[in-house]
Structure 1
Amino acid sequence: MLGEEMRFTLSKTGLMAGISFSRIGDLKRRAGIGLLCAGVLQASVSYGDAELKDKPYRYSDAHLHALDFFQQGDPISELVDVMDKGRVGDAMISGASLMKKWHENEPKRPRYYAGDNADLYWYSATDNYLAEELKKLPEKDRRRLHPFLSGINPTDKNAVTHLEKMMELYPGMWKGVGEVLVRHDDLTMMASNEPPRANSEAMDRIYRFAGKYDLPVLLHNNITSKRERNPLYLEELSDTLNRHPKVKFIWAHAGTSKTLERYQGEMDFLLPSLKKLLEEHDNVYLDLSWSVLKPYMLDKDDKPVKAWLELIEKYPTRFVLGSDVLGRFDKVDDNLQEFDGFLDALSSDTAQKVARENFLALLPESLPSKGAVAER
């Protein structure tokens, strides 16, 4: 990525880490923007641009990565500017749990994880990078960003040790766990070690950690493989939900992915599977970002699909929206506003829940202080 190098010392760990953030311009802070916060659910944002006041929706972004698979990203201060422009009051923010290897035999650095055959490796320092950058923001901006821990290897039973250490080093900061990647088609197949699964012993330890601190878990678990036209991996998720009924799970992309779409097209078993899952488990919430809107929620003419409207109206508190950007923030507002046409077809109360309120309701009511973490 183009941009100046920023180096900082993670003084609490004694680790020197390098991270690169592009400088694409000194954006001036927008006048009249403030955050009045009396608890997460009461947070509201006032926008400086008069034309934005007539817009119907204020969003919470439930799925956003500050870093890409090379652990690089735009300055987080620029995210706040984009949020202001796009009517986004709050955002989940996480790093990226995998780092793409630039293999010795490759003459050119890959630009994406699938750029060559080199593998990816699990990268815990992504959480430190994120935390140190968040600490540089003004308090009023930091309150709008809700960081999730993601720097874990989901096949490693030691991974929970990293999570506990992050809670100790940055007390009161973390609002959730994820995006945890299991069954993510080519991405997790290219990762070092064996492919992870949702209902493993290593993941059970992570879920117990999340339950202890009342942290929601954003879990990427494809509903099936590239070839099988049935919900091949749904049982692994259902088993997880049954075994951890007090943990709140956000199912990333409702089990879909762009790779699945390329190989399978529209999966006719998806909607029946979601209906059954929502009926049987009250601790699962569906993230509608990226690969769900099309071809599922909107038809080929970009009209809302009746069956999806009915499902969301039946479970109005169980759906959230996300931009799922990866280290680049310029598309956050566009990605969320793509949902406007669908939201317009919902009742106004349900639309506002899906656009903003449901994600905020999933966040922990209070975060443990440093002393409380030590006592647990």
Structure 2
Amino acid sequence: MARVSSGNLGTFLRTIHRQGPAPCVALCLATLLASGATGQDNSVPEDALFHDSHFHLTNYVQEGTDIGDYLDIMGDTVGRSTLFGIPLQQTWSYENTGETAPTYYLESDSPLYYYSFTDAHIAEAYNSLSDEQKARLDPMITGFNPADMYAADHIRRVLETYPGVFSGIGEFTIHKEFVSSKVAGDTASLTDPALDKIFDFAGETGLVVILHNDINTPFPKPGKEPFALKQLKALFERHPETTIIWAHMGLGRVVRPIKDQLAIAEKIVTNPKMKHVNIDISWDEVAKYATETPEAVQKTADLLNKYPDRFLFGSDVVAPDSIEAQKAVYEKYNPVWDKLTPEAKEKITKGNYERIFNEGRRKVRAWEEKNVKQ
């Protein structure tokens, strides 16, 4: 009789839960067999299309995809994936939207607030999995306020409470179009000592940092130098021992590429003081800019081919119900993929993820071994 792996057992049990007790066992067994439970385990598929360096399991009201269902969604398409919620909760203010419950930050004028329970939710979900399933995921800590001098203590407590779980922190935000101004409390800043404490602790523990910081403000004045870029580079230089991934190359929905955008990225990856900084090209909006003209495609491909060790692909998909959303972001980059060398494409879609997060796992587990009572 074929061995049923723990991951496929989860598929089986979720099928029973969805179908209810009425359908016969034979139907559930047929579903289980169709899902591939023929003795194969949930280890990372060698022929996966990509690893996802930027993935949100939950949304702005902390709802999302069941972690077992996400593993089913990944299938053989996504080899490994980061795993994080969204650290901000959208307030449902009856005075503002009445009976209409907002599920996105642009659907309400009410503030956002930091939702620290997201870290426990991610950890508990991860710990419900088998070791084979866990090997495919890299959970991240996000439920902290980067303007709070106690934020680093929160991150430490999460590691102490859930040893063996987390590989990094993020995605968390400092400057983000329309979001930063909605967050209740102090405004996050790239020059805040609280942020330096976070980066120092990440460097001490080996936690990989995924930072969202727009390269500019929405609707900037022409010719005005972005203040965030200067501050961001200074932050990078202050923390040479911290492995950093700059999300989306600093772009947003309305924060478009500024002049010499790719040249700015090149200056970062060639600066010897920023050799610890990597850049993710996640999000379909970033793919849109990279592929909007043949010239943009060629320049993007040239940069990636020249520095393939410093860029990572990610989807930035939020709480999907199928693989199609993640595949759509990947396929939007097809014009760029077609111009990459095989070696560059492999590194950007998989190799760099493995190198960065394998080392992050190793360092964090070593820190926990020395500092956490288990």
Q: TM-score, normalised by structure 2?
A: 0.82
Give, as a single letter, the amino acid of the residue that structure 2 aligns with 1:30. Answer: G
Please say if residues 61 and 90 of structure 1, whose CA atoms lie closer than 8 Å, have aligned partners that are also in contact.
Answer: yes
SS of residue paired to 1:305: helix
What displacement does 1:110 show? 1.1
Matches of 1:45 and 1:200 in 2, distance apart?
Answer: 42
Please say if residues 291 and 333 of structure 2, whose CA atoms lie closer than 8 Å, have aligned partners that are also in contact.
Answer: no
2:86 corresponds to which residue?
A: 96
What displacement does 1:275 show? 1.7
Alignment of structure 1 residues 118-267 onto 2, 5 Å: 118-228=110-220, 229=222, 230-261=225-256, 266-267=257-258
SS of residue paired to 1:134: helix
2:8 corresponds to which residue?
A: none
Please say if residues 53 and 81 of structure 2, whose CA atoms lie closer than 8 Å, have aligned partners that are also in contact.
Answer: yes
Q: Larger strand proportion, structure 1 or 2?
A: 1
What displacement does 1:24 show? 7.6
What displacement does 1:365 show? 4.9
Matches of 2:296 and 2:321 in 1, distance apart?
Answer: 27
What displacement does 1:76 show? 1.1
1:13 corresponds to which residue?
A: none
Deviations 1:40-78, CA, capped at 9 Å, x for gaps: xxxx415xxxxxx6xxx6311000011111011011111
When the two structures are aligned, how many residues end up with a matched partner? Answer: 330
Gaps of 5+ in 1: 1-22, 37-43, 47-52
Deviations 1:277-296, CA, capped at 9 Å, x for gaps: 2221211111101122112x
Aligned counterpart for 1:273 among listed residues 264, 267, 279: 264
Aligned counterpart for 1:83 among listed residues 74, 82, 93: 74
Aligned counterpart for 1:34 among listed residues 24, 33, 41: 41
Matches of 2:65 and 2:18 in 1, distance apart?
Answer: 8
Q: Larger helix proportion, structure 1 or 2?
A: 2
Deviations 1:182-229, CA, capped at 9 Å, x for gaps: 101101110112321233201111101111111110000000101324
Please say if residues 279 and 310 of structure 2, whose CA atoms lie closer than 8 Å, have aligned partners that are also in contact.
Answer: yes
What displacement does 1:250 show? 0.5
RMSD: 2.2
What displacement does 1:170 show? 0.8
Give, as a single letter, the amino acid of the residue that structure 2 aligns with 1:192. Answer: A
2:53 corresponds to which residue?
A: 62
SS of residue paired to 1:368: helix
Task: Indicate how the Cα distance of structure 1 residues 24 and 271 shifts in structure 2: closer, same or farther if over 3 A, else same.
Answer: farther
2:351 corresponds to which residue?
A: 357
SS of residue paired to 1:45: coil
1:16 corresponds to which residue?
A: none
- Which deviates the most, 349-358 or 223-232? 223-232
Matches of 2:172 and 2:63 in 1, distance apart?
Answer: 19
- Which deviates the most, 214-223 or 231-240? 231-240
Matches of 1:320 and 1:256 in 2, distance apart?
Answer: 15
Aligned counterpart for 1:341 among listed residues 335, 338, 345: 335
What displacement does 1:113 show? 1.1
Sequence identity of aligned pairs in percent?
27
Matches of 1:277 and 1:329 in 2, distance apart?
Answer: 36
Matches of 1:362 and 1:58 in 2, distance apart?
Answer: 18
Matches of 1:175 and 1:254 in 2, distance apart?
Answer: 21
1:49 corresponds to which residue?
A: none
SS of residue paired to 1:292: helix
Please say if residues 286 and 320 of structure 1, whose CA atoms lie closer than 8 Å, have aligned partners that are also in contact.
Answer: yes
Gaps of 5+ in 2: 1-16, 20-27
SS of residue paired to 1:185: coil
State the 4+ residue runs in structure 1 displaced beyond 4 angstroms: 23-28
Please say if residues 301 and 340 of structure 2, whose CA atoms lie closer than 8 Å, have aligned partners that are also in contact.
Answer: yes
What displacement does 1:255 show? 0.3
What displacement does 1:342 show? 1.6
Give, as a single letter, the amino acid of the residue that structure 1 aligns with 2:366. Answer: P
SS of residue paired to 1:82: helix
Task: Indicate how the Cα distance of structure 1 residues 231 and 359 shifts in structure 2: closer, same or farther if over 3 A, else same.
Answer: farther
